[in-house]
Amino acid sequence: MGVVNRLIVIVLFEGVDLLDVTGPPEVFSLVPRETTGRVGYEVVLAAETLEPVTTAAGVRILPDATFREVGERAIDTLLVPGSVQVEGEGASEADGERRVHPIVEPGTVARVKALATRSRRVASVCVGAHILAAAGLLDGKRATTHWSTAPQLAADHPAVRVDPDPIFIREEGEVWTGAGISACLDLSLALVAEDFGEQVALRVARQLVMYLKRPGGQSQFSVPLETVSTTRRIEDLRHHILNNLGSRLTVPELAAYAHVSDRQLTRIFKTELGTTPHAYVESARVERAGNLLATTDDTLDRIASVCGFGTVDTLIRAFHRRLAATPSEYRARFRTATAPLRTAPPG
């Protein structure tokens, strides 16, 4: 029995992000090794011509075929990477002078729209979602992209339900969108899992020495690594929250700690962190609980207590809201059988 290959076409254009193009093939190339050569992918890099394409990193890539040539074949997966132009690169993000604009070239949009009609599945990497949206492929669908361009995607395409938090989203009609750059590996692993099963995808992830195989509901952000705020008071509050997740951390208690009114505390969080105190505390608790699920054998009762949820039901509801998964599903997907377990210290 010969190898069964699924055709994946990756769209090339001038200035495309290098990792968006090269990351997914690294994942796909390992499938035959993990299935003893029975199944795999044929990856084709397609461009308008066969001339070398210069990526955003300055590295030139040679296309395998033209758009016209691949358009004559049945495509299993059309993968659309992205890229951005940055204005005011010498300025900091804080001073408001730095602007990031996705590259959406009309010719590329037209090619993607045409090729999508011959593709079983369409997926975008990072800001490639802007190209899919311009081609009308995301209308009425929920989609994600790199957090920095999500507001622009929502403004330019009101028919798209933009969610800037998940690392990838799968919608009906076999349309997938992925978040920023390195999330292309997570998206690619999810495609492998859909095609050849979860175990194959997990084995590929181990070959790539990926610390975790993340589900799509995983947030693009780690709460402790969010953008540093502009005031010492809110930074002190954030550290207080992260160091006291097992406490109640209600708005009145946080306001008293910061020596402000409840209303002022809510206004400070909204202005400086773009969220509410309750939502921030819940995100931090979910992240801490996720770490414990992935690295310990603690019970859900203990994790709920240590992270400040109080009850397992509250923990489960928070996971559904933030990650679209149950704690048990999170633990099953994030911790492999070979991962060492440790028990969290009391406290």
Could you tell me the CATH number of the domain that includes residue 55?
3.40.50.880
Helices (H), the chain: 18-29, 31-34, 67-70, 106-116, 128-134, 150-156, 183-196, 198-207, 232-243, 251-258, 262-273, 277-295, 300-306, 312-323, 327-334
Instruction: Name residue 87's amino acid.
Output: E
Picking from 207, 241, 274, the residue at the C-terminal end of a domain is 207
Q: Please name the residues in contact with 144: beta carbons below 8 A apart, sequence gap of 6 or more.
A: 129, 150, 162, 163, 164, 165, 166, 167, 168, 169, 177, 178, 179, 220
Enclosing H/E stretch for 35 = none
Structural domain contains residue 171:
yes
pTM of the full structure: 0.66
Same domain, 156 and 264: no
Structural domain contains residue 215:
no
pLDDT, one tens digit per residue, over 53-68 is: 999 999 999 999 999 9
Q: How many domains does the chain have?
A: 2
Domain that holds residue 277: 223-334
pLDDT, one tens digit per residue, over 15-37 is: 999 999 999 999 999 999 998 87
Q: What is the pLDDT of residue 345?
A: 41
Average pLDDT value over all residues in the chain: 85
Same domain, 119 and 181: yes
Q: How many Å apart are CA 6 and CA 195, to the nearest integer?
A: 9
Q: Is the pLDDT of residue 213 over 80?
A: no
Confidence of residue 119 (pLDDT cuts 50, 70, 90): very high
Same domain, 168 and 242: no
Same domain, 168 and 237: no
Q: What is the pLDDT of residue 99?
A: 77
- Nearest alpha carbon to residue 13 among 89, 146, 127: 127
pLDDT, one tens digit per residue, over 317-337 is: 999 888 878 898 888 765 543
